[in-house]
Chains A and B, each alone.
Chain A
Amino acid sequence: MTPRHAYPPLTLRATGLVCGRGGIALTAELAFSVTPGQCLLLRGPNGSGKTTLLLTLAGIVAPLDGSFALDGSDPESGPQLHYCGHRNAIKPRLSVTENLAFWATLNGATGITPEAALDEVGLGALADLDAGYLSAGQSRRLALARLLVSHRPLWLLDEPTAALDLEGHDLVTRLLDRHLDMGGFAIAATHDPITLPDPARMETLVLGARA
């Protein structure tokens, strides 16, 4: 079994956060907080700002207004989050293992080994294949494996189940559940229902709801 890894007790707190692209606000003022062991699900129609909110929290897009902070984080300790976006950031000319091992080194190999991570996401048999030959679902699994090789407390997942089969949905649920067990927390934008075994851990934030 994976070793327990206790994260420092962090809280993501957003106050009056307005996200938007190109100067156009996509979300109303958002206020939420996510604590260890919690998963915040973002829901809402296309274009309601789910991805923008995740990119804002990842520091890629500047918020239009308001602020957010990771309370309790040590400013010395480097990046605290994994972002898993629409694009899988996979190099087709490198093998599956090379792709994963690179990110393990670059993000700090604090998690399970790349081999174990590949077995976990069901790509163990394809380790030496060029990643360019992977199907969309398999690429997604490889992107998810990246979350496992380096431990970081906050996961920002954008449509984690996109292109995945039914077993893949279970995989995402399993990985999320284990991540929360270890004291991590996550924000996931999704259209698919993700049901964790313990519903108390899930909260839902609906974006773009017309009042």
Chain B
Amino acid sequence: MTTFRAMLTRELQLALRGGGDMLTLVLFFVIVGAIVPFAVGPDRVLLARIAPGVVWIAAFLAMLLGLDRLFRPDHDDGSLILLRQADLSLGGVVAAKLIAHWLVSALPLIVASPLLAVLLAMDLDAFWRTLLSLLLGTPALAAFGAVGAAVTVSIRRGGLIAPILIAPLSIPVLIFGAGAITGTQSGAALLFLAALSLMAVALAPFAAALAISSAED
């Protein structure tokens, strides 16, 4: 457990000292949401109707942007080879990285989502459901992302391939995520979202660890 905590602390330290990385993601998230009214016109009714989808697309894209940070720096400076020899199993290493990744790339988006809600003319009820659906759904996005990043880590320019790999996996998350905000059965959608996240978070560390250890450096 100490090894797991050390890994988690290190990831958070690296991310927080990375300067503007976290802020960049949040700004990207807000900007993607903010350009939509310019593109579709300032029709409040239409905006409010498409807002759930826009929020989820913005969150999805912003989380893709942060993916390359997950394993590539460790791969490039040789840390990944050493992490494979650590007392903590590789699955544990990936799990710690996954938690840290969610904390630094999804949590800030959730915190910034009120801004997007205002820009997209959401009512208060829809906003609370947006918050809840993001909270329940982003762990699944992070977990799928971790698998994609692990599969492509030894490929040069793999950062561009990972999003293409994980986009199909993320479709259910987007469906239920947006559905939880708009749908008439938003309760059921939220449960599906939670189930997806639990499953993805439980399996992703093993899948990603397998991908890393079977990739020749």
B78 and A108 within 8 A (CB): no
Q: Does B3 contact A (CB under 8 A)?
A: yes
Q: Which parts of A73-99 form the interface with B (CB within 8 Å)? A: 78-79, 81-83, 85-91, 93-94, 98
Chain A interface, >50% SS class = loop
Contact, CB under 8 Å: B77 / A58? no
A123 and B78 alpha carbons, distance in the complex (Å): 21
- Contact residues of B between 160 and 217, Cβ < 8 Å to A: 216-217
Residue of B nearest to A88 (CB): B78
Q: Report if A83-B87 is in contact (Cβ < 8 Å); known contacts: A94-B10, A94-B13.
A: no
Interface residues of B in 5-57 (CB under 8 A from A): 6-7, 10, 13-14, 17-18
Q: Is there a chain A Cβ closer than 8 Å to B88's Cβ? A: yes
Q: Specify which chain A residues have a CB less than 8 angstroms from the CB of B13 in the assembled complex.
A: 93-94, 98
Interface majority SS on B: helix, strand, loop or mixed?
helix
What residues on B are CB-neighbors of A21 within 8 Å?
A: 216
| Interface segment, one of A7-15, A36-44, A59-67, A168-176 | A59-67
Residue A204, interface by CB 8 Å: no
Given A21-B216, A81-B85, answer yes or no on A105-B77 (Cβ-Cβ < 8 Å). no
Give the contacting residue for A60; candidates B14, B74, B76, B216; CB below 8 A: B216
Q: With the chains together, A203 CA to B114 CA distance in Å?
A: 67
A106 CB–B CB distance under 8 Å: yes
Among A59, A62, A91, the most chain B Cβ lie within 10 Å of the Cβ of A91
Given contacts A62-B216, A79-B87, A107-B86, contact A86 B78 (CB under 8 A): yes
The residues of B that contact A103 with a CB separation of less than 8 Å are 82
Closest to B74 in A: A89
Does B88 lie within 8 Å of A106, measured CB to CB?
yes
Contact (A59, B78) CB under 8 Å given A106-B6, A106-B7: no
CA distance in complex: A194, B17 (Å): 39
Count of residues in B whose CB is under 8 Å from the partner chain: 24
B78 is contacted by which of A61, A81, A89, A98 (Cβ under 8 Å)?
A89
Which residue of the partner chain B has the closest CB to A156? B85
- Once the chains are docked, how many angstroms separate the CA of A87 from the CA of B78? 5
Q: Which residues of A contact B84 (CB under 8 A)?
A: 58-60
A85 to B83: give the CA distance in the assembly, Å: 13
* Supplied contacts A78-B87, A86-B78, 20 more A-B pairs, CB within 8 Å: A55-B81, A55-B217, A59-B84, A59-B85, A60-B81, A60-B84, A79-B86, A89-B77, A89-B81, A89-B82, A91-B14, A93-B14, A94-B14, A105-B2, A105-B6, A106-B6, A106-B7, A106-B87, A107-B86, A107-B87
Q: Can you name 9 A-B pairs with beta carbons within 8 Å?
A: A60-B216, A78-B87, A82-B85, A85-B81, A93-B14, A93-B17, A94-B13, A105-B2, A107-B86
